Amino acid sequence: MVKTTTVPDAWNEIYKFSVQRKAGSIINMEGLVSEISALDFGEKDFEGIALGNGGRVRKMKPMTDETITLKVWPTDVGLSGDGVAQFFHPQTADDITQPLSVSNTITKNQHQIILLFAESMTGIGGAGSATPAGCSAYRVTAKNALLTRYKPDFGDLNLSAEISFKWAPFDKDGTSNKTEDSTDGTAVLTAVASYT
If we measure between CA atoms, which residue out of 108, 100, 56 comes closest to residue 82?
100
Looking at residue 4, its pLDDT comes to 52
CA atoms within 13 A on the CB side of 40: 17
Q: How many CB atoms lie within 10 A of CB 41?
A: 16
Q: Per-residue confidence of the chain (196 residues) as pLDDT tens digits?
A: 444 568 899 999 899 999 999 999 999 999 999 999 899 999 999 999 999 999 999 999 999 999 999 999 999 999 988 999 999 999 999 999 999 999 999 999 999 999 999 999 999 999 999 999 999 999 999 999 999 999 999 999 999 999 999 999 999 999 999 999 999 999 999 999 999 9
pLDDT at 5: 63
Burial of 29 (0-12, 13-18, 19+ CB in 10 A): buried
pLDDT at residue 6, as a whole number: 81
What's the pTM value of the predicted model, to 2 decimals? 0.91
Question: What pLDDT shows up at residue 1?
Answer: 43
pLDDT of residue 111: 97
Count of beta carbons in the 10 Å neighbourhood of residue 77: 19
